[in-house]
A and B are shown apart, each in its own frame.
Chain A
C-alpha cells in the first residue's frame, strides 16, 4: 500500500467522523430547540435547565440526567406519559397525547442527556 492511499484512507475516515459528530450535534441542538420552544416541550415552564431564562419552579431542575436516568427507556417513558407513575402529575403526556412526534422525542432525549 502506498503512503498516499493510507493518507487518503485516514482523511476519509476523519471526514466520516466529522460528519457523524455533526449529526450528533445537530440532533442535540434540535433537541434543545424542542425543549425551549413554548409550543413543543416548553420544559422551562416548570424546570430550570441549561442556560434557560426565567425558568418556572414547579418541577425539579433538569441536570445530571445520566446519573438520574441511567436507563434511557425510563426517562423516555416519563416524558411519554408521566401519569403512569403519578396519576395527577402535572407533566403533560408528551408522547401519548401527540404533543411531540417520535423523532422530536428522541432528539429531546439526546439533548437531555447532555445536561
Chain B
C-alpha cells in the first residue's frame, strides 16, 4: 500500500515536473530549448542576443562597435567607482575582490535580509552604509557604475548560486512565475516573445532569446543615448505589452532578474554592450 502511494506521488510529481522542477533542472531544460532551436549557435554565442541570429544586423552592429558609443560613459563609471565617499572609503571596500570581477555572482540571495540582491542594489547598499545618498535606479550614475563593474568581469562565467534555502527558492519561483505569466492589456508573457517566438520577427524587429540576456547589461542603447540596467530594459518590454513598469529594484523585478540570470549560468559576461 505504501509503495503504491509512493508510485502515485512519484507519477504526480513527474506530471507536474516542469512546474516544480529544481532550479538545476529548469536551467537544463531552458538552455536545451534554445540550443535545440538554434543548433548553429554556441552557448556563449547567445550572449550577443539578436546579433547571434541575424547576420545583416550583426554586420551593422560590429561596424558600430569599432568606436563603441559607450566609451565615455564607461570611463565615467570607472571614475565614479574610484572616487572616495566623504568618509574616505570607496566602493572597493564594500565588495569582494575590491569590486573587480564580481558581476557574474549577481544577483545573490542574502539569507540575513531574506531577499535577492542585484548588483545595483548592492551598489546602493554600499552607499547607504557609507552615509551617501542613494542613486536613482535604472539609468544615470548607477548604470555607469554597474557598467564599469561588468567591464571588469568580462569573460567570467555567470555563476549565480543555486537557491539553497526555502526563502531563496521562493524568490526564484516567484521570478520564474513572473517570466511565464501573461500581463498587460496585450496579454503577453516574457516567454511569448523571448522563448516561444525567439528568432521570429515582430515587424522588422527580431525577438531575442532570453538565454544570454543578462550577460551584457547594462546596455548602451542608441535609443536611450546612455546606459540602462536590465530592469530599465524590462520596463520597455512591459510598456510594449501595455503593463505598468515597476519601480527599480522592486521585489518582482529582483526576483525576475534572479531567475533570468540563473537560466544563463555558465555563459560568459560580455558587457557592457551596445544596442541600437
A–B in direct contact per CB < 8 Å: yes
Binding site for B on A (CB under 8 A): 44-46, 54-58, 83, 88, 90, 92-93, 97-99
- Ordered nearest first, which 8 A-B pairs have the shortest CB separation? A92-B186, A90-B192, A56-B202, A54-B204, A58-B200, A56-B201, A45-B202, A97-B185
Contacts A88-B196, A90-B196, A90-B197 given; indicate if A45 touches B188 (C-beta within 8 A): no
Determine which of A46, A55, A88, A98 lies in contact with B185 in the assembled complex, contact meaning CB atoms within 8 Å: A98
What 1/0 flags go to B189-220 for Cβ under 8 Å of A?
10111001100111110010000000000000
Among A55, A88, A90, A93, the most chain B Cβ lie within 10 Å of the Cβ of A90
**How far does the alpha carbon of A92 sit from the alpha carbon of B193 in the complex, in Å?**
13
Question: What residues of B have a CB within 8 angstroms of the CB of A92 in the complex?
Answer: 185-188
**How far does the alpha carbon of A57 sit from the alpha carbon of B197 in the complex, in Å?**
10
> Is the CB–CB distance between A83 and B200 below 8 Å?
no
Question: What residues of A have a CB within 8 angstroms of the CB of B193 in the complex?
Answer: 90
Question: What residues of A have a CB within 8 angstroms of the CB of B207 in the complex?
Answer: 58
Query: Interface of chain A, helix or strand or loop or mixed?
Result: loop
Interface size range on B against A: 10 to 19
> Is the CB–CB distance between B187 and A88 below 8 Å?
no
Closest to A93 in B: B187
Question: What residues of A have a CB within 8 angstroms of the CB of B202 in the complex?
Answer: 45-46, 56, 58
Query: Interface of chain B, helix or strand or loop or mixed?
Result: loop
> Is the CB–CB distance between A54 and B203 below 8 Å?
yes
**How far does the alpha carbon of A45 sit from the alpha carbon of B193 in the complex, in Å?**
12
Question: What residues of A have a CB within 8 angstroms of the CB of B201 in the complex?
Answer: 56-58
**How far does the alpha carbon of A22 sit from the alpha carbon of B32 in the complex, in Å?**
56
Among B182, B200, B203, B207, the most chain A Cβ lie within 10 Å of the Cβ of B203
**How far does the alpha carbon of A83 sit from the alpha carbon of B185 in the complex, in Å?**
13
Question: What residues of B have a CB within 8 angstroms of the CB of A57 in the complex?
Answer: 200-201
Question: What residues of A have a CB within 8 angstroms of the CB of B192 in the complex?
Answer: 88, 90
20 other contacts beyond A83-B182, A88-B192, with CB at 8 A cut-off?
A45-B203, A46-B202, A55-B203, A57-B200, A57-B201, A58-B201, A58-B207, A88-B182, A90-B188, A90-B193, A90-B196, A90-B197, A92-B185, A92-B186, A92-B188, A97-B186, A97-B187, A98-B185, A99-B185, A99-B186
Instruction: For the complex formed, measure the closest distance between the CB of A110 and the CB atoms of chain B, giving whole angstroms.
Output: 23
Among A44, A56, A97, A99, the most chain B Cβ lie within 10 Å of the Cβ of A56
Question: What residues of B have a CB within 8 angstroms of the CB of A54 in the complex?
Answer: 203-204
**How far does the alpha carbon of A88 sit from the alpha carbon of B196 in the complex, in Å?**
10
Among B186, B188, B191, B200, the most chain A Cβ lie within 10 Å of the Cβ of B186
Closest to B205 in A: A56
**How far does the alpha carbon of A99 sit from the alpha carbon of B196 in the complex, in Å?**
23
Determine which of A56, A93, A97 lies in contact with B203 in the assembled complex, contact meaning CB atoms within 8 Å: A56
B73-91 residues with Cβ-Cβ distance < 8 A to A are none
Question: What residues of A have a CB within 8 angstroms of the CB of B196 in the complex?
Answer: 88, 90
* Residue contacts A-B, CB under 8 angstroms, 25 given: A44-B203, A45-B202, A46-B202, A56-B202, A56-B203, A57-B200, A58-B201, A58-B202, A83-B182, A88-B182, A88-B189, A88-B191, A88-B192, A88-B196, A90-B192, A90-B193, A90-B196, A92-B186, A92-B187, A93-B187, A97-B185, A97-B186, A97-B187, A98-B185, A99-B185
